[in-house]
Structure 1
Amino acid sequence: MKNAIVIGAGIVGLSTAWHLQERGFEVTVLDREGVAAGSSWGNAGWLAPAKTIPLSDPSLWRYGPKAIFDPDAALSMPVRIDPKLWMFLARFMLQATERSWDNTMANLTPIDMAALAAFEEFELGGVDAMIRKGPYVIGFEKEEQSKGFLREIAGAVRHGQEAEMTRLDNPQELAPMLSDEVQVAYRLEGQRFIEPGPYVQALAKSVEERGGIIRSGVEVTHVAKGSRPAVILADASREEADEVVIATGAWLPRLAREYGVRTLVQAGRGYSFTVETDKPAEHPLYLPHHRMACTPYQGRFRIAGTMEFRRPDEPLYPRRIEAIVNQASRLMRGINFEERQDEWVGSRPVTPDGIPLIGQTKAEHIYVAGGHGMWGVVLGPATGKYLAQLIDTGETHPVIKPFDPLR
């Protein structure tokens, strides 16, 4: 029986491990911290293919320069000399055109359309975790703010997705925590959501129940190529396998760059916290103008936001939490924002072209899976499925063909 080592116990790494098991592999998953310790834990948990779209779009040319000087803006970056960051931003902004948006959307659409079915496959395979249906509530303070979001949805539909939307007569009908500042709202159908931390823990449990080994507190410092590649650990020990998968999120370049994966991967850090609401939150809420994504979470309401371009290991900056609170406290009611819990920052792996990195490196038997940006949760199971097929058969499924990590 062949065996594989997967580096990274987030949803992408664990999905790959699960699907390798489906194909008869013995699997070991290594993570320096633990299951869902990175960006898989505190995100909004959205399974929303209709919103799984390119991050870089023409509106950035208007929004970006203003955001740099607005401490409460959703986009944030340090003012310091950082050549890698500025190189990434330059390439990211070059993608902010209609043509580039359409090209990237065309590449993302096939995996978007496979995303929900991949979650259903986990459910049928015994992953014991709840997947909840929408609708999503999309809110705006005024009509003018809705134009950009409606244009994005129209773009997703133009590329073949379904995204049924209807106008709500009363924004508070499905989202009672909205204040009167929110005058315009839509309901978006056909999407799903999960509680991401518990879901990934359930996926890890399934991997273990099927004979997989998950080891936490293990830092991989190097991946050595060969007919049987090996991972080198921080204690200088060496472990071989038939196949190695690098699924380390925003840290992916540290292990993969040596093997031809030269696309920049920048940590686009997101923040979140949970609060109580006077009336129970039942549906996801999105406030596009403020880039704020909210989800029911274990009886509370998770509020997530911010795209902060910093190094992945930097600490949580309380000022970014304050920026979300400053906006949310004006747009929501019936919430005591002083009683926040679960404050979190996670480093999402963003590529300049908005396209993931999935496939074989220059070294035989060494693969990568990452670079999903904000969409790692929704695209993780489908990524694992098609990467496992490539590892097992040598055939690249058309869904992941545009995501060549050597591009």
Structure 2
Amino acid sequence: MQAAPSLSSTAPRRVAVLGAGIVGLSTAWQLQRDGFEVTVIDRARPGQGASFGNGAQLSYAYVQPLADPSIWAQLPKLLFSRDSAFSLRLRLDPQQWAWGLRFLAACRADVSAHSTAELLRLAEESREALQRLLADTQADCDFQASGKLVMFGSEASFAAARRQMDLQRRLGGAEQHALSLAECLQVEPALAGSGAQHVGGIYTPGECAADCARLCDALHGVLQARGVRFVIGDRVGGSAGALRREGDRLVAVQAGERWIEADAFVAALGTGVAAFARQLGASVPVYPLKGYSLTLGVPDAPGLAPQVSITDAQRKVVFARLGQRLRVAGLAELAGHDTTLDPRRVAQLRRSAREVFPLACSGNDVQAWAGLRPATPTAVPILGQVAGAPRNLLFNAGQGALGFTLAAGSAQRVSHLLQGAVGRARGVAVSRSVAVPAA
């Protein structure tokens, strides 16, 4: 990969992080730890966007992109079925059509394999970086390293999963095992109620889960106590006039009535990052994928609710244990920026939960949520500079459904880029950029 050009003619010490989801907060934590003066700006309270109700899985080993050759055979269903786990709801939106065409262009075996390799590298960095973050902050977020089972409902899909597992093994992925149904039930007895629906699974013992919203709350408190400034409640740079540039540098952004100056900026604005980039004359291929989740209270009796994280590959639904709660999440709609809770989709998710864990998910203690995952067509996030944008602006965006998983590693890479700019300004040797290329 090519080293990024200099971010600034002087060492950037003051950094403004735009966005207070798990990606932005992880970035703020990493930058503060690495010696930068950090300001975090967001119009919403930390962790209130896609971070609030995500699938809760930290899926370091299972990172296969959504853009896959199998999409072509599924395309009629994706366009016309109202119950498809992944659906395309076409709108009169040029950004949606442009993203969709790039997504379809990425549905090739070679692109999928390359994206998988990129994501595995970033995921392993993220595993190590999150361990450091949790050790440093002692955040109470229902973290558990209980492993994950991905369950398959047909021999064909199970065979495809074994091929993907073999690919990831060749790429240096984490330890994984293909298990028979009987072996899966030994790992997670709570699957017994739906065992007849599955033929086998891929088990990854090193996978983890945690409550992302609680981690965001904890990070907010820790960072404030360490001197990180938070500007919360005002929209960031709502128009081109709310951004001040001097030549090829961004010098300040407007948040409400205030102007926030910094030496460098990091755009971690989730699904808002594409509009922000357009204000600056740049383009980033990030578009929302709408997802849903349920958070359920689970019974105390052992063996009814899962301890291991579960992904039902046929239904495209994930299950993650969070203390005495179970997070059930899934579905993906390419449907614009609408966050409305669709009762039909909520019912679909509840039905899936009852079918997979009938003894654990029959109650009425349910919190439903819908949110927007900021996705690139290839699933590889955009980390670093973007052509046409100010040179002291870095992007940290497009992690999609892997936002929680990739947040800590993405933050580490962005900090490395800024530290490289500091080194260049001081005339010392720096390492090559590790930024992930744009989709």
- Aligned match of 1:383: 410
Question: What is the CA deviation profile of residues 199-234 of structure 1, one whole-angstrom value per residue up to 9, with x for unaligned ones?
Answer: 222222221121112232121124323366101124
Q: Does 1:176 align with 2:190?
A: yes
Checking the alignment, whether the CA contact within 8 Å between 1:32 and 1:216 is kept in structure 2 is: yes
Q: Distance in 1 between matches of 2:432 and 2:337?
A: 31
SS at match of 1:109: helix
Letter in 2 for 1:197: A
Q: Distance in 2 between matches of 1:9 and 1:69?
A: 36
SS at match of 2:265: strand
Q: Does 1:250 align with 2:284?
A: no
- Aligned match of 1:363: 390
Checking the alignment, whether the CA contact within 8 Å between 1:225 and 1:364 is kept in structure 2 is: no
Q: Distance in 2 between matches of 1:397 and 1:157?
A: 28
Q: Distance in 2 between matches of 1:150 and 1:212?
A: 45
State the shift of 1:313 in Å. 4.3
- Aligned match of 1:198: 214
1:143-162 to 2 correspondences below 5 Å: 143-162=155-174
1:54-65 to 2 correspondences below 5 Å: 54-65=65-76
- Aligned match of 1:239: 260
TM-score computed with the length of structure 2 as normaliser:
0.85
Q: Distance in 2 between matches of 1:291 and 1:400?
A: 32
Letter in 2 for 1:376: G
Q: Distance in 2 between matches of 1:233 and 1:313?
A: 24
Checking the alignment, whether the CA contact within 8 Å between 1:6 and 1:28 is kept in structure 2 is: yes
Q: Percent identity?
A: 26
**Residues 402 and 4 (structure 1), Cα distance of their counterparts in 2 relative to 1, 3 Å cut:** closer
**Residues 139 and 397 (structure 1), Cα distance of their counterparts in 2 relative to 1, 3 Å cut:** farther
Q: 2:148 aligns with which of 101, 115, 136?
A: 136
Q: Size of the alignment, in residue pairs?
A: 404
Structure 1 stretch displaced more, 92-101 or 173-182: 173-182
Q: Distance in 1 between matches of 2:381 and 2:361?
A: 38
Q: Does 1:224 align with 2:247?
A: no
Could you tell me which runs of 5 or more consecutive residues in structure 2 were left unpaired when the two chains were aligned: 1-11, 424-429
Q: Distance in 2 between matches of 1:241 and 1:282?
A: 45
**Residues 180 and 113 (structure 1), Cα distance of their counterparts in 2 relative to 1, 3 Å cut:** closer
Checking the alignment, whether the CA contact within 8 Å between 1:171 and 1:183 is kept in structure 2 is: no
Q: Distance in 2 between matches of 1:175 and 1:83?
A: 48
Checking the alignment, whether the CA contact within 8 Å between 1:181 and 1:330 is kept in structure 2 is: no
TM-score computed with the length of structure 1 as normaliser:
0.91
Letter in 1 for 2:435: K
Q: Does 1:372 align with 2:384?
A: no
Q: 1:123 aligns with which of 128, 134, 144?
A: 134
Structure 1 stretch displaced more, 150-159 or 51-60: 150-159
**Residues 309 and 228 (structure 1), Cα distance of their counterparts in 2 relative to 1, 3 Å cut:** closer
**Residues 53 and 400 (structure 1), Cα distance of their counterparts in 2 relative to 1, 3 Å cut:** farther
Q: 1:266 aligns with which of 270, 276, 287?
A: 287
- Aligned match of 1:71: 82
Checking the alignment, whether the CA contact within 8 Å between 1:73 and 1:323 is kept in structure 2 is: no
Q: Distance in 2 between matches of 1:95 and 1:228?
A: 32
Checking the alignment, whether the CA contact within 8 Å between 2:289 and 2:332 is kept in structure 1 is: yes
**Residues 333 and 169 (structure 1), Cα distance of their counterparts in 2 relative to 1, 3 Å cut:** same
Checking the alignment, whether the CA contact within 8 Å between 1:179 and 1:330 is kept in structure 2 is: yes
State the shift of 1:68 in Å. 2.7
Q: 2:347 aligns with which of 310, 322, 333?
A: 322
Checking the alignment, whether the CA contact within 8 Å between 1:68 and 1:75 is kept in structure 2 is: no
**Residues 74 and 113 (structure 1), Cα distance of their counterparts in 2 relative to 1, 3 Å cut:** same
Checking the alignment, whether the CA contact within 8 Å between 2:417 and 2:435 is kept in structure 1 is: no
SS at match of 1:311: coil
Q: Distance in 2 between matches of 1:110 and 1:260?
A: 31
State the shift of 1:399 in Å. 7.4
